[in-house]
Amino acid sequence: MFVHVRPKCRADIAVAIALACVFGLAGAAENPATELEAPTIEVIGTTPVQGIGVPVSQVPANVQSTTGAEIQRQKSQDLSQYLDNNLGSVTLNHGQNNPFQPDVNFRGLTASPLLGTPQGLSVFVDGVRVNEPFGDVVNWDLIPQNAISTVTLIPGSNPVFGLNTLGAALSVSTKSGFQYPGASISLSGGSWGRKSAEVEYGAHSEKTDLFLAGNFLDEDGWRDHSPSRLQTLFGKVGWEREDTDVDISLMLADNRLEGTQALPLGWLDTRKQAYTWPDRNENQVAFLNAKASHFLEADKLLAGNLYFRRYTNDNFSSNVNDDCRGIVGNCSPGILAGGADPQALNDRSKIETTGYGGSVQLSLLGDFGGRKNNLTVGASADLGRTHFTQSQEDADFTADRGTIGKGVSSLQTDVDTTNDYYGLYFTDVYSFNQRWHLTLSGRYNWANITIRDKTGLEPALNGDNTFKRFNPAAGLNFNPTPTLTTYVSYSEGMRAPTPIELTCADPNAPCRLPNNFLADPPLEKVVAKTGEIGARGRWADGFGWSAAAYRTDLNNDIIFISSGGAVNAGYFQNAGKTRRQGLELGVHGRVQKLSLAMNYGYVDATFASALTLNSPANSSRDAGNDIHVSPGDKIPGIPAHSVKFRADYDLTEKFSLGGNAMYFSSQYARGDENNQDVNGKIPGYALLNLDAHYQYTRNVSFFGRVDNVFDKDYETLGVLGENFFNGPGRTFGAGNVTGEQFRSAGAPRAFWVGVKYTIGQKP
């Protein structure tokens, strides 16, 4: 799917003026940006810092874009749900069973908020990379939905976007007072005790503007012990003149998210129950970003940004004590009842990260050999300083598998880590003529990661690791007609191992995520190489289509290897070569009052190297608890097929209905990398979501949404582990531990309704 994004008066004045220079759209207007209100121009930002865009007809990738208005129209709970419901090749895994903590997968690669998940997608907000320095995680709850202006998903191993761009880069731009004048307040509520409020305010004068957005959400969650509370505030001030644009934004968030893990397969008769609890993440962020662009001359644009980001995560995890396996006499009474060993361990960790850095880039428009040429060169620095602590408390389980601590915690880990990422990049689009366009890009990445033990008792933790590489890319577009674009491309990208991976890479000393730093064995950087061929076009006014085939090979891919016991216990290792290849098809259009969009994604994710992995809960394991993976075995957690269908129908001028129908095929469970476990695959599923909007008066509107209309039972993830709760009433029983497949249950039918009041906003 590609959504035609129409630039507003101030979508980016630098882009507007540059396009005016290139395409002659603005003529002699005093401010060329205002001329872009009339035509619809498809422009893609091909660099992290917003600068001179490239017409989509010259982009050698199956780009997908949307607007914040469309996200608001569907009343999606957050950005990740919108991506899952609409964009091709995107799927979600809900490993934590909290709706705001999903793994977002695109083409079989992931951006996740969970430490230890191999991160293969980079995410940018207003030109700043928001993969957190400590584990490259992406906290979807920290992206304020009602502040989003546009979203662009750029597939491939695009080197210009730097580290973690193995499968794609997701670029989010926020609103401004020039784009979104007026004020609004929305109130809504419904299932699971959800209560939410959103406020927006935008204003501008001739050269300055202001935008504010606030969001509050509180709910109990559909599963036991899984409440969520989100509080975000976003503000932006801007100043502009004909050749200069400056924006300063501040985002604050204080969120509390609880989840209750996957359930053993036999427990899905009561899908709302918790396996163990509590499991809690508290995220706070203060994110200050200043960006500016200035035309040195009519064809020379200088742009850049500086940012400061303070991120804190407090984590509480209730875990089974693996040492209890089989020793009934010591653990069955529990320490609170006089036993020798605790049944449970309460793990607490705290991440305090200060991130800062910036980018600068120069764009040059002009002729080269008599042909149009668009060259951008830039440099970036992303620096992170993290203090990580982890403590452990002996505990016992209650009858409903909650934990009661002994009250004394022992410090397990106290480390400081640094992440220094530097990059030099360029991208050049050379137009032979109106039909042929050549894109050449490249980036030199230099990453240094250090780990220092503060206790002085764990010297094995200390490490200093440097990873560097030049990553190239090339693409060729051939546009035989104004309504048809074809392309072929090749790109390379890399990611460096994170501190959590480097300190949990010893098979003889497995750890429980996100805790227990133990040692610093070497891991190799991951290198991705992507080839893509595709086409897109229009066959009538308002109707468009796209098609793409791709292959991404990862060398030295890093995977998490289970060590048995708790489902999150294990270690990381380089796994040789893995492959993701597939096909994407999309159509979209509008016929009078009806809008339609459909996307199909096929992802064939396989291991390309033979591996021997430890998987004690896999029924096909050998005597040493190992499984043997062969080239061609499917990578777990990735559905091969996904289909998304979206329809909107305007029943009257005031009343509209919309719906999303989705289908996701089956997938293998994590721990079943050899695809031979007796429990088989997690079944595929289909869902239907509906939304409605009624414009009661010019200022007052009502809206509603129903998810999972037919109340289907489904699961989004499977993982193999050991179940310690086979006692009466599913209570703790160390003497009867069974290897089982665990599944993350999907949410049942739910509905929400709300009202919105606006003043001065455009319809």
Residue 241 domain-assigned? yes
759/763 Cα distance (integer angstroms): 10
For residue 573 the two structure tokens come to: 């290792």
Terminal-residue alpha carbon distance, the chain = 24
C-alpha neighbours within 13 Å on the C-beta side of residue 312: 9
> Contact 590/583 with Cβ under 8 angstroms?
no
Residues of the chain with pLDDT under 70: 1-41, 328, 505-522, 562-570, 762-763
Using CA atoms, how far residue 174 sits from 12, 178, 251, 462, 477, in Å, is 11, 12, 11, 40, 30
Torsion 717-154-426-11 (CA) sign: negative
In terms of residue numbers, what domain contains 637? 13-759
Among residues 704, 688, 689, which one has the least CA distance to residue 655? 704
> Contact 389/422 with Cβ under 8 angstroms?
no
Among residues 363, 253, 252, 247, which one has the least CA distance to residue 306? 247
**E strand intervals along 369-402:** 371-397
Pairing of strands 715-723, 109-111: unpaired
What pLDDT is recorded for position 568?
Answer: 56
What pLDDT is recorded for position 398?
Answer: 94
> Contact 701/187 with Cβ under 8 angstroms?
no
Q: DSSP for 654-687? A: SEEEEEEEEEE--BPPBT-TTS--TT-PBPPEEE
What pLDDT is recorded for position 21?
Answer: 39
What pLDDT is recorded for position 30?
Answer: 40
What pLDDT is recorded for position 614?
Answer: 84
161/124 Cα distance (integer angstroms): 9
Among residues 394, 387, 366, 377, which one has the least CA distance to residue 451? 387
Q: How far is CA 418 from the centre of its chain?
A: 23
Say which DSSP state 223 is in: S
Residue 2 domain-assigned? no
DSSP reduced 3-state for 37: helix
Helix, strand, coil % over all residues of the chain, rounded to 5: 10, 55, 35
> Contact 97/744 with Cβ under 8 angstroms?
yes
Among residues 641, 649, 549, which one has the least CA distance to residue 603? 641
Residue 673 domain-assigned? yes
Among residues 60, 2, 8, which one has the least CA distance to residue 34? 8
What pLDDT is recorded for position 24?
Answer: 39
Residue 84's H or E segment, with its range, is: helix 79-86
Within 10 angstroms of residue 711's Cβ, the number of other Cβ atoms is: 9
What pLDDT is recorded for position 4?
Answer: 40
Pairing of strands 168-174, 121-125: parallel
Residue 404 domain-assigned? yes
Count of domains observed in the chain: 1
Residue 162 domain-assigned? yes
For residue 613 the two structure tokens come to: 């992995």
Residue 3 domain-assigned? no
User: 564: alpha, beta or left, given left = phi > 0 and alpha = psi -120 to 50?
Assistant: left
Among residues 133, 4, 109, 1, which one has the least CA distance to residue 542? 4
511/509 Cα distance (integer angstroms): 7
> Contact 11/50 with Cβ under 8 angstroms?
no
Tell me the pTM.
0.92
The pLDDT tens digits for 527-543 are 999 999 999 999 877 79
23/36 Cα distance (integer angstroms): 12
Place of tokens 């080839």: 531
For residue 581 the two structure tokens come to: 């290849």
The pLDDT tens digits for 232-284 are 999 999 999 989 999 999 999 999 999 988 999 999 999 999 999 999 999 99
Q: Burial, 185: exposed, middle or buried (Cβ in 10 Å; 0-12, 13-18, 19+)?
A: middle
Residue 405 domain-assigned? yes
What one-letter code names the amino acid at 56?
V
Q: What is the CATH number of the domain that holds 734?
A: 2.40.170.20
Q: Burial, 206: exposed, middle or buried (Cβ in 10 Å; 0-12, 13-18, 19+)?
A: exposed
Total number of residues shown for the chain: 763
Residue 482 domain-assigned? yes
What pLDDT is recorded for position 36?
Answer: 30
